[in-house]
Copies of this chain bind each other. A is one copy, B any other.
Amino acid sequence: MKQTEAVDIQEYLSEKCRLIDKLLDEFIPPATQAPQSLHQAMRYSVMAGGKRIRPILALAAFEYCNGEQTRTGRAIEYAMAGLEMIHTYSLIHDDLPCMDDDDLRRGQQTCHKKFGEATAVLAGDALHDIAFGLMAKTGSTEVVTELAQAIGTFGMIGGQMADVEAEGRDISKVEITEIHNCKTGSLIRSSVRIGAILAKADYKTLMSLSKYGEKIGLAFQIIDDILDIEGSQELLGKKVGSDCLKKKATYPGVVGLKPARQDADRLIDDAVSYLNSFGDNRLIHIALYIGRREK
């Protein structure tokens, strides 16, 4: 492991966001290429910005495990782009009228508002698809399997289903934790794991990083729920208060706002405890960034 060194996390995040934008631009066909409307819609949603936290976590985990040294070709870059495409596909489908029916995302109209529902469904499908193609390009079927499990019916899609079904219903802390772990936590945990797998991390490190990913994943969604109550629409780029309006199940809705914040803080602390403090400390800084994020 590398020696701990001071890291300007904002600079690191900004730099990696630029890299990720470049990769996404490279791996999505140009908007001038047929079917144009589909490629336009995919680019519109993917290039709208966002925190890019999933690919950044994959890269930081890869670096944490000294992936640089065992790196073969561009595997981690393929995985990074694929992870962001999966996240965007899930947002496009979640925003559909039959799901969360959202009009605004990342400060602009949602995909179906801009391009129509049929195009939005297909743009999501196509991103889902390209992402798996990129995972295969890493040369590792293990990475493809990891992703498929993370976003399947026992992961992201299952969480989204449970989320839709929980609307308007009283649920327990155990249930909301499970929904958040699946809906959001699963892909975040998997992003960390994919970075580690590509760096050929040993079993013990992979297990520690899995726990780290699990903890920050849940914290991330709890803070999302908190920001929907306390946050700024300008900073977030989406409407605030919409969870409440839609009677969505949220963590602060179940446990209260202050306990939710305390739980998020505790999860961040827990996450950091799984890291080797002598290692590259970017994963620590990313966890702290997630804990205090305002967008």
Contacts and interface: CB of A to CB of B under 8 A. Distances in A.
A153 B160 CA distance: 25
Given A132-B132, A137-B141, 11 more contacts: A34-B158, A35-B162, A38-B153, A39-B153, A98-B121, A125-B157, A128-B129, A129-B157, A132-B144, A133-B149, A136-B148
Range for the number of chain A residues in contact with chain B: 35 or more
5 contacts: A98-B118, A133-B149, A135-B144, A136-B141, A137-B145
Interface in A1-47: 29, 34-35, 37-39, 42
Q: How many copies does the complex hold?
A: 2
Contact of A99 (B93, B121, B161, B164): B121
A288 interface: no
A280 to B, nearest CB: 29
Interface string A139-174: 111101101110111100110111011000000000
A119 interface: yes
Interface of A: 29, 34-35, 37-39, 42, 93, 96, 98-99, 116-119, 121-122, 124-126, 128-130, 132-133, 135-142, 144-145, 147-149, 151-154, 157-158, 160-162, 164-165
B121 A153 contact: no
Contact of A122 (B35, B139, B160): B160
A133 B146 CA distance: 8
A164 B225 CA distance: 37
A128 B35 CA distance: 21
A136 B140 CA distance: 9
Given A37-B161, A133-B145, A148-B132, A98 B116 contact: yes
A37 B116 CA distance: 27
Contacts of A124: 125
A145 B152 contact: no
